[in-house]
Structure 1
Amino acid sequence: MPEPIPSFAALGSHPLHPMLIHFPVAALLGLVASDLGYVLSGDPFWARAGLWLAGVGAFGGWLASGLGLIDLIAVRRIRCLMTAWCHAVLAMMMLSLASLNWLQRYLAAEPILPWGLYLSLLTALLILLTAWLGSRLVYEHAVGVEAKE
């Protein structure tokens, strides 16, 4: 295993980005389920739930990504990793789509079909790719991993 790369944005030795990213990821993946619930049932509950999930996912994702960006900028060994840059670019693309999805739901009379569902599915796909790159940063490059003594 390579030498661990400590996180700059951390509480103690616990990196903040991986602590916070689970909530927006869960919200944005749950958004796909709520959209499908709306499509299958037509129940407006699912549209309201989708608005909240999209908001939590987008705003929470920007917060968590800001902490990841601090590590990318502040830690030279992270900046030197192509995987880190690919992870960051995909995350920005995904969060831009998630934000557009929330805004479209907030402003539109019929927020789910077709664009809301398309944006939710595309966002979920980008989450999978971004998470895969994030796991490579941890497991292959030891980013944010504490050295055992």
Structure 2
Amino acid sequence: MDIENDLGNFHVHYVAMLSKRQDAVPLLLLHGWPGSFLEFLPMLDKLRNRYSPDDLPYHLVVPSLPGYAFSSPPPLDKDFGIEDVARLMNQLMLNLGFGAGYMVQGGDVGSKVARVMAAKHDECRGKHLSIPQSRYC
């Protein structure tokens, strides 16, 4: 998905499993370093085998963070930090139609992004951190 913001145009790669349930919980799953979206594929496969799109309780979105796998790299000529990544990930969820609220899970670098998302973006209603740290917790 292409996302424009004040730091430029970015392509954000993601994989998703979307439910047909009206009450499905949108959940953004963020990888760490040196990981990638591939870490979540076995879990998505288990959920695919257990649920159909009609009864899947979640909308699962697994992006590649900027600079990983198939997403655009961060700009080299501008400051680009965790808050910028969080803004891109929030915009991804908004563009996918989850402006009414979503949850985020992150480990390692993903936990840093998740903390900022929960602190700075009202649409992010909750977080789960695999590696909790003090800032923004």
TM-score range, shorter chain: 0.3 to 0.5
Larger gyration radius, structure 1 or structure 2: 1
TM-score by structure 2 length? 0.32
Name the structure, 1 or 2, with higher relative contact order (CA <8 Å, separation 6+).
1
Q: Which has the higher strand share?
A: 2
